[in-house]
Structure 1
Amino acid sequence: PGLEKFARRLESAGCGPRRPLRARCHGFPQEDEKLPALQPGVRHPQPCGHRLLLGALRPHRAYVRDSETVHYHYGPKDLVTILFYIFITIILHAVVQEYILDKISKRLHLSKVKHSKFNESGQLVIFHLSSVVWCFYVVVTEGYLTNPRSLWEDYPHVYLPFQVKFFYLCQLAYWLHALPELYFQKVRKEEIPRQLQYICLYLVHIAGAYLLNLSRLGLILLLLQYCTEFLFHMARLFYFADENNEKLFNAWAAVFGVTRLFILTLAVLAIGFGLARMENQAFDPEKGNFNTLLCRLCVLLLVCAAQAWLMWRFIHSQLRHWREYWNEQSAKRRGPAAPRLPARLIKRESGYHENGVVKAENGTSPRTKKLKSP
């Protein structure tokens, strides 16, 4: 009895037998705990395995809207993720250059100018092809093609699915890695301004769609743009292999103008008409809402100016190529010029002629030759 009383006193003082220590992971319930019911729009703890799986792409805010889908919001941690994928992209760029493009260019025996353009087009063909396949898969699985109204409905699109957010971060990483690649690839000084223009143009449009919560519209526009660019760089590769092969250039010229028209139409439809009819037209950066008249006009002006600039460069290059082509054709029609025969040298006697009579230099007639009598 005395021992029982002593044990009760220890338990009442908090010194009784303790439960065994167990490693506890946030998100996994213990034996005596129950799983909380998942509710739409409510944040719930995530298991350790899921957090380790998304360690490289840790969200700024993670929200679970149902039992399976996790949505992400952009934040300052995205910069670390982009930096990580920049290094991966540089490694992949070097692998493609060494094991694929260098071997092909050695067989073609290209000049230095054509060699640099061949490397540029070869890298962009692989990137555009993978981006087109990836973007098309995301657009189809998310249902943006079957429901065009989703491009502007429920704006702002603050919470992104994993595949949409990952796609945008990889796109930003690729075009940012293209800046140091200008130095690594030893690009000529004449080519640097042209490449910087395209790199900055892509970065502004992709980052603008990502930060202004226009990710759905940005996916469709990128899909159209990348299809055109893939066709153009494929035409360049075939041209370097065979200079007489210009069929792909003609196909690209036809697709280019149609793509500009589609991009402008979608931008005006989604931004100019779709967002203009939304009820929540207020400037609220905390909630990610930029649906104001000024913001819509700035976005439309940027898209229209970019498409007009691309179209002007396209028309200018086409006119130059047509002028060179017609000059070659006109030169062929004229045929080779007949070679000029050298003028026969006529030996004249000294002096000058006057009324058909040769005069000496002092004005007197030259002496007649005496004929010897036989």
Structure 2
Amino acid sequence: MGNNFKMIAKTLFGFEELLAKELRNLGAGNVKEGVRNVAFEGDLGFMYKANLCLRTAIKIIKPIQSFPVRNENDLYRKIYHMDWFEYLSVDTTFAIDATVKSDNFSHSLYVSQKTKDAIVDKFRDTDGKRPNVDVKHPDLRINVHIHKETCNVSLDSSGSSLHHRGYRISTNIAPINEVLAAGLLLLSGWDGQCDFLDPMCGSGTMLTEAAMIACNIPANINRKGFAFEKWTDFDEALYEKIIAASLKKTREFHHMIIGMDKAPSAIRKAQENIDNANLTDYITLKRANFFKTTKETEGPLHMVFNPPYGERLDRSDLDSDFDVEEFYANIGDTLKQEYPGTNAWFITSNLHALKFVGLRPSRKIKVFNSHLESRLVKYEMYEGSKKAKFQKS
């Protein structure tokens, strides 16, 4: 195992345990949970696999250097003395992403600039030429993180955030992040062993992520590329083997995944995204108002959805007569009266409105939707007489 090295997978708040479990299931070594990140070890092939398969990771970075740093001159000098020729040449482009949490450094942009200066000066002093910066499509993206008096320098193996799966070509207002959707599904216990419904499906992200989990399809199989494909040590043959091996682990799905939305434009966009993800055979879409529907499937039903009304939408995007309290009351009434045998989960940042659902949640999990503190809530709708268990709050 001498070829293993340390990596860090970044994630959303509350998803650390999910990500750690994913990493262990993939075969990572020395997995350690942090805050919004999980550290682990693996070889080059595992780095490829982590980017391809992890559902709850936002980035996979590879630490290459760590040192104490007290001021900008200290930073410049230590960056300058790193062996950048192992990662860069004068013909490759690079970009710097910096984050700073230190009393000694106040501006991340200045840290980026100082790091860039040290790297180009090193090449200019050694070769007489310097590599160029390309902030949009660099050959190498370098991550600099300063916490108090410690500077960690890493290589970003992912490139753009891993929530950019590659299948979503059409979106509605305030679409749910793909990593957030996958995490919510995993938190809900979704494993593809029953029928699934998203009654307010929007552009279909929850449906697509649910289908990929059910079929064990690699999360980023539709993505156009990763940053590591431009690295000097990129092993294309190994990467192709990782893709092939991951696709061999897909499984059959013998239940239904159904999406509903009352907006024709949402159904159209969802269909485009589902088609683009090559999941048309697994997902059925229908235009319908959830509040006027009844459960159509036999046996257990797993429901996860993101109600379209909330703080992330501008008031001008809502119906003029929209009443948020009535909307949440309708969710509760529809679940209680029309959806027996259902485990219903949904996310909301409107904690006040939850009171109007009129049902007692069996679980509440704190998560963040973008910058908004939210709750993922679960309502268990039993068959028959057990409905009486749920009384109005």
TM-score by length of 2: 0.22
* Structure showing the higher strand proportion among its residues: 2
Q: Which has the larger radius of gyration?
A: 1
TM-score by length of 1: 0.23
* Structure showing the higher helix proportion among its residues: 1
